[in-house]
Amino acid sequence: MIDFNRHPNTYRHWQLSFSGDTAMLRMNVNAEFPYAAGYELKLNSYDLGVDMELCDVVQRLRFEHPEVKVVVVGSANERAFCAGANIWMLAESTHPFKVNFCKYTNETRLSLEDASRHSGLKSICAINAACAGGGYELALACDEVHLVNDNNSAVSLPEVPLLAVLPGTGGLTRLVDKRKVRRDRADVFCTMAEGLRGKRALAWGLVDAIWPKSQFADKVNARAKELAASLPNKGTKGIALPAIHGKANDRGFAYDHVEVEIDASKRTATITVHGPKGQQPKTGADYEAAGASAWALQCMRELDDAICQLRFGYEEIGLLVLKTRGDRAALLQVEKDLLANRSNWFVNEILLQMARTCRRWDLNARSMFALVDQDSCCAGVFLELTLGCDRVYLLDDDRAQMAFGPLSNGALPMTHGITRLQNRFLKDPAHAATLAAEQPVLAGSEADEQGLCTFLLDQVDWEDDTRIAIEERVSLSPDALTGMEASLRFGGAENCDSKIFGRLSAWQNWIFTRPNATGDEGALTRYGAPESAKFDWRRT
């Protein structure tokens, strides 16, 4: 299994320090410790291992350091802030790894933006040298971007002219949707390998401030203090986040609350998520005392890890089958208590973690079927996971119930900002609003009439019909299914976040397989070689 756990004591690529309500995060990539052998991480270029540490940093700032209001993201390398994703790593990686790597880095950057919106954690990117590609995309994820005004420091998105690919972690979308850079200027900027420096970068809206090198550190620190002073206090004592480790077994792997059964021959993975058992915290203080062991946090962290394990470690799994188990009433009571105590900073972070895990689930590039039978605990957040699936198979049995909880009314939004109920009932928003407000418990034909299942099956047909549906699904082209699912899962209007992932699915799945980029004579393949790339000039 892949170890996604990281800890500040073992960071190889980042330096994290604290000064009161401000944190300083410096990128200092150790070139000798790549995620995989075969390439060197020069000029603060990054790979999956570097981003695993960054993901850990953001999580720890949210949970372990509630006193921090501002994080300043800088570089300890005087020659480069960040050269972006390591080109040799991309050139040597499998296609699925490349796309999942881009998705993972996007989710990490989105978590930084989510912390700014909902956790009172603002970020300033302090660019002290050349900042290219994914480095500038990290800067774009911060609330403010400050740049040294000298003859060397510049921001750039050079993927198009240098590599014949695109800024894969949301660069183009954040440029125009988030920073509102004019389209014509963005066009020029994204075709300039050298990028823009100083005054023009500021004038075009690519950065928020420029400072002389002699004043840079003082000006950034002064702005961090000013920004921190404008933000409210949260907590003073954080909650430690222990490592999450699944244990491999002869069927797959398992955690305390999540089990994953792998059937490689059928190209399926069955994920069984278990609800709370025993006494659960009731108040904010109770949750702080329970810490990371509280079911609501631990279960979501385990599921989050399981999703990442499946993405990177099981490329040929085509279908995820969701099952839920546990006490519906106990799960719904946990959600009621969480919502009632949301003013507590830690409870708020638990709810935000639940929302992020559900969004990572939605963004799986695999087919997802939910099976709801007489033993299911299809309630609350588990119902959200169910509604996030491509199909829902419901057993026609009064014991097979679907129960709405208080979090179904907006606390766990999808990537494009609406609830899964709203997404399901785009034609009838009043129906979605009624279900969210009334929070009914539905079974059998009633759930079917309310539009909550794809197929209602009786006991006689259950085993055969679900088996046939699964076998049919995995027999279809994975490329066609990926495109189909990405098109169907997120209905209605888009926002910046959903555009990033939608375009990632379309652009990168296509461009990364085109000979102009990854062919024997493509730009990504020949990067650093004396021969220039050779392109097929036909446009499609």
Per-residue pLDDT of 445-467, as tens digits, reads: 999 999 999 999 999 999 999 99
Strand partners, 401: 443
Mean pLDDT score of the chain, rounded to an integer? 96
More confident position, 313 or 503: 313
Question: Of 397-406, 501-510, 521-530, which one has max mean pLDDT?
Answer: 397-406
Q: Which of 449, 495, 521 is nearest to 178 (CA)?
A: 495
Strand partners, 144: 124
| pLDDT tops 80 at residue 531 | yes
Instruction: Tell me what the mean pLDDT of segment 486-496 comes to.
Output: 93
Place of tokens 């972070």: 349
User: Does residue 408 sit in helix, strand or coil?
Assistant: helix
Q: Which of 166, 174, 129 is nearest to 151 (CA)?
A: 129
Instruction: Render pLDDT for 148-188 as a digit per residue (tens, 0 to 9).
Output: 999 889 999 999 999 998 887 789 999 999 999 999 999 99
Cβ atoms of residues 160 and 168 within 8 Å: no
* Residue 539: predicted pLDDT: 86
Cβ atoms of residues 288 and 344 within 8 Å: yes
CA atoms within 13 A on the CB side of 325: 11
CA atoms within 13 A on the CB side of 513: 10
Domains of the chain and any CATH numbers: 8-229 (3.90.226.10), 247-485 (3.90.226.10)
Strand partners, 80: 130
Cβ atoms of residues 518 and 525 within 8 Å: yes
DSSP label at residue 211: E
* Residue 168: predicted pLDDT: 78
Res. 354 pLDDT band, cuts 50 70 90: very high
Instruction: Render pLDDT for 283-337 as a digit per residue (tens, 0 to 9).
Output: 999 999 999 999 999 999 999 999 999 999 999 999 999 999 999 999 999 999 9
Quote the CA–CA distance of 299 and 276 in Å, as a whole number: 9
The helix or strand, by DSSP H or E, that contains position 273, with its residue range, turns out to be strand 268-274
Say which residues have a Cβ less than 8 Å from residue 258's Cβ, sequence separation at least 6: 246, 271, 272, 273, 274, 299, 302, 303, 306
* Residue 443: predicted pLDDT: 95
